[in-house]
Structure 1
Amino acid sequence: MIKETFISISCLILLLSGCVETETIEDIQIIESIGYDSADDKKYELTLATVMFSPSEGGIIKSETISDANFTGYGAAWNAQRETPKPTAAGKMMVALFGKDLAENGVDEILDGLKRHTTIGRRVDFCVIEGEAKELLEGEYPLGQTVSRYLKDLLEHHKKGNLPSTNFHEFMYKYYSKGQDPFMPLIQKQEDKIKLKGLALFKDDQYVDSIPADKLLIFKMLYEDINIGTYQASLENPDGYAAIEAVESSVDYKIKNGNTRPEIYISVNIKANINEVVSSIKLENASDEKNLENSLEKDLTENGLQMIKHFQEEGIDPLGIGDRVRSKTRGWKSTKWQELYTHASVDLNVKVDILETGISE
C-alpha cells in the first residue's frame, strides 16, 4: 500500500457522502458494500455495490457495482462515478470487503480513512475474501437478494452459532488495544454462493493466519460465552465421532504472576446435546454417557491447547489473553508482555455436561 492511501480514503468518503442530505432516496444510489483489492503498478481497485430505490414502486428497482483502479481513492471513486446516472451515498453500508492479497499487505491506511467518517456505521461487518472483493460483489446470488444483503444475512446467521462476535467497532477496538489482535470472518465465493471459510487473524493491520470453519467452536468457547454452536468431535476409547450442539457455554480466566512468569488458567463449562454418534458407544446407561463426556472433554481440551500454543508460536493473540492479564495485573506493560506471552504457561480445563442424547432403539 502506498502512503497516499490515507489521504485518498478520506477524500473518497467525502466524495461519496457529500450533499446527501439534500437528496431524496429515489435520487441517489446507496452504497451497501465496498470492496478493496490490490492492483498493478501500486494501484488498488475500489468496488462499490450500490442500489437505487423507488418508494412509489415498493422497493429496489436496480442494483449494480461500479469500480475503478487508480493510484488514489479519490481518483478511483471519481472515475467509477462517471458511470453512474445518480449521485452516490455511503450512509447505508453493510459490509467492507478486503481481498486476500491486499489484506496480507496491510489495511492500516484504509481503516484510518473509514473510522474518521460518521457516515460509516460502526456495525458494518469487515471480511477478508479468499480471492478478490470485486469478483464477489459483481456476482449474482439466490433468494432475490442484493449481494450486500445476502452477505450480511450470512454473517448474522453464523454469529448466532460458531462465528465469534465481530464488526467494525470491535475490530478497531482490538486493533488499537495493546493486549490483543483483531480478526475478521474469512469468506469465499463458490459459483452463486458465498461460504464462510473460517476466521482471518491479523497481526497489527496484516492478515497473517486463519482458523478453519470446523474449529470455530473451539476458538469461540475460549473467547466468549456461547448460547449455541455445533461441533464434530473425535472420540477415543472407543474410536469414533460425535456431532454435538452446544446450548450453553461459559469461559473464565484466572491469572497468576502476570508480570513475571505468567500462568493462565482457563475453565470452560459446556452444556450440550448429542445429535449423532458414530461409535460403538450405545449410550444405554449412565456409564456410557459419562464415557462420552470424558471423550468430548479430551477432544475439546487437546484442540483448545493446540490452538493456543499455535497462537503463541506465531506471536498473535486473537483471544485477548494479554488484555485479560492487563485487567488483573498491577503495573502491566505491553512491551514486557510481548516478551512473556510466547512462554506463558496455559492450563485448560473443559467440563462437558450432556443434556440430551436423542432417541435410539
Structure 2
Amino acid sequence: MTMMNDEESGNMELMKTTFPTFILIVLSALMTACGNQYIVNDIKLVQTVGYDIIQNGVQSAAIIANYEEQGAKKLEFYVTNSDNMFDSIPRLKTKLDFPLEYGQLRLALFGETFARKGIKATIDSLIRNPKISRRMQFGVADRDALNILNIPQNKSDPYFLSDMIEQNYKKGNLPLTNLHVVNFNLYGKGRDLFLPYITEEDREVKINGIALFEGDKFKTTISIRDALLLKMLLGNSKFGSITIPIKESNQKQEDSFLMYSIGSKSKFKVISIGPPASVAIHLELDALVRDVPPWMDLTSKDQIPSLEKSMEAYFEKEIQKLVSFCKKNNVDPVGFGDLIRSRSNKWNAREFQEHYGELETTVSAKVKIVQTGSS
C-alpha cells in the first residue's frame, strides 16, 4: 500500500473542497450566458430608425433585418404614426409577428423639422435602453428622415449610413458623434452637441457637413471643410483633408492644393474668465501636401517653409471665422463654456450665454509638412 504524506493529503482535501465549487461557477456562467441568447428567427432586429414631425404627432421609420435560412437576411421597412415618439414603439409592435430587439441598432436619423423642435426626449429614451451600444451613430437630414431612408442604397443595406458616418470619422473630416459623445455634449455644462448633416445628391446620400445645436434644438450647419476645423479643435484630425487656396506673388488668380492631416493637437489657455471671457487657441498640425500648382516645387528647401507659413495664416484665419460663426448663432460645439467653467468656481451658465457673443479668442497655428506626396 502506498502511503500519502501530509502535503499530498492536504492537496487531496483541497481538491475535494474546491472542485464542486468550480463546477458550480462554470454551470452558473453557462446558464447566465444562455439566458440572454435569442434565436434570430424568433425576433426582429432593428438596425436603423428615423424620426419625423407630421401634422398630428411623430412619424417613425424602422429598417429591420429578417434573417432567413443559411444566414441570409431580408430587409423590412416599417413606418408608423403616433401622437408622440414614446408611443411609436408600441404602435410598431402591432405590425410585427415577433418581438423587437435593439441590440443591433446602429443609427438614428432625425428629420430637419423634428431636430429643430428638440431631440432630447429621443436621446433619453435610447440612453435608457441598456441593449443599445454607446457606439451607435446619429444624423440630421436636410428633409424628412423617411425620404433619406427610402433612397435605394439604404434599403439594400441597413448599415450604409452608420458605416458612412463611421468611415468619415475614422478617415475623413467628421468629429466623433456616437451615443456616448452625444450624451456628454447634451448634458455637459457649457457645450452644445453636433451631428452629421445628411443630404441627397443624384439619388445618393452624402454627408454635407455638421448640424450644430443650441441646447437640444438644431440651429444651423457648417460645411464639411469647416467640419475638419472643428475636428482639429476637438482633438486629433488624423486623415482629414482640405483644399487650401494659394497664389504666387505675381498672380492675380488663386490656385489651390490638397492637404491631408497626418495628426493634430489643440491647446486652449484661458486668459480671462470674464465676462467677457478671453481664450487663446494654439493648433499644432502635421500635414501631407499634394496636388500643388505647377509653379510650386515641393522639393525646394526654400518653398516648404514658405508654404508652412501660408498654411499657418490660413488656419488661423479660418478657425477665427468658425468661432465667430458659432458665437453669432449662439452655439458652442467647441465647449468654450465648459473650458471657462473648469477655471472658475463662480461660473454661471446663464451669464456665460449672455456674454458668449463677446468671447475674445486669439488663434495661433504651427504647421509642419512631414510629407509632400512627391517623389
TM-score (norm 1): 0.86
Structure-to-structure mapping, 1:1-361, within 5 angstroms:
23-41=38-56, 43-54=57-68, 57=70, 59-73=71-85, 75-141=87-153, 146-160=156-170, 161-190=172-201, 193-238=204-249, 239-278=254-293, 280-359=295-374
- Stretch deviating more after TM superposition (123-132 or 21-30): 21-30
RMSD, aligned CA: 2.2
Mapped partners of 1:22, 1:285: distance in 2: 63
Confirm or deny: 8 A CA contact 1:217 1:230 kept in the other structure. Answer: yes
Q: Which residue does the alignment assign to 2:29?
A: none
Instruction: Kindly state the Cα deviation for residue 352 of structure 1 after the two structures are TM-superposed.
Output: 0.9
Equivalent position amino acid for 1:62 in 2: K
Q: 1:252 to 1:28 in 2, by over 3 A?
A: same
Measured against aligned partners, the alpha-carbon deviations of 1:279-326 in whole angstroms (never above 9, x if no partner) come to: 633334222112211211121111110010111121111101111222
Measured against aligned partners, the alpha-carbon deviations of 1:243-287 in whole angstroms (never above 9, x if no partner) come to: 011101110001122144422111101111111112633334222
Q: 1:74 to 1:254 in 2, by over 3 A?
A: closer
Confirm or deny: 8 A CA contact 1:141 1:192 kept in the other structure. Answer: no
Mapped partners of 2:272, 2:127: distance in 1: 37
Q: 1:136 to 1:287 in 2, by over 3 A?
A: same
Equivalent position amino acid for 2:53 in 1: S
Q: Secondary structure at the match of 2:307?
A: helix
Confirm or deny: 8 A CA contact 1:311 1:317 kept in the other structure. Answer: yes
Q: Secondary structure at the match of 2:311?
A: helix
Q: 1:22 to 1:226 in 2, by over 3 A?
A: closer
Which structure would you say has the larger Rg? 2
Q: 1:137 to 1:81 in 2, by over 3 A?
A: farther
TM-score (norm 2): 0.83
Q: Secondary structure at the match of 1:278?
A: coil
Equivalent position amino acid for 1:305 in 2: Q
Q: 1:260 to 1:83 in 2, by over 3 A?
A: closer
Mapped partners of 1:86, 1:294: distance in 2: 62
- Stretch deviating more after TM superposition (205-214 or 110-119): 110-119
Instruction: Kindly state the Cα deviation for residue 101 of structure 1 after the two structures are TM-superposed.
Output: 1.1
Confirm or deny: 8 A CA contact 1:241 1:279 kept in the other structure. Answer: no
Mapped partners of 1:331, 1:265: distance in 2: 21
Mapped partners of 1:260, 1:61: distance in 2: 58
Measured against aligned partners, the alpha-carbon deviations of 1:96-120 in whole angstroms (never above 9, x if no partner) come to: 1100111112223222322222233
Q: 1:284 to 1:62 in 2, by over 3 A?
A: closer
Instruction: Kindly state the Cα deviation for residue 227 of structure 1 after the two structures are TM-superposed.
Output: 2.4
Mapped partners of 2:62, 2:227: distance in 1: 30
Mapped partners of 1:223, 1:276: distance in 2: 27
Confirm or deny: 8 A CA contact 2:226 2:322 kept in the other structure. Answer: no
Equivalent position amino acid for 1:151 in 2: L
Gaps spanning 5+ residues in structure 1: where? 1-19
- Stretch deviating more after TM superposition (124-133 or 276-285): 276-285
Confirm or deny: 8 A CA contact 1:199 1:212 kept in the other structure. Answer: yes
Measured against aligned partners, the alpha-carbon deviations of 1:155-202 in whole angstroms (never above 9, x if no partner) come to: 111111211011112112111122110011111234553211111100
Instruction: Kindly state the Cα deviation for residue 125 of structure 1 after the two structures are TM-superposed.
Output: 0.8
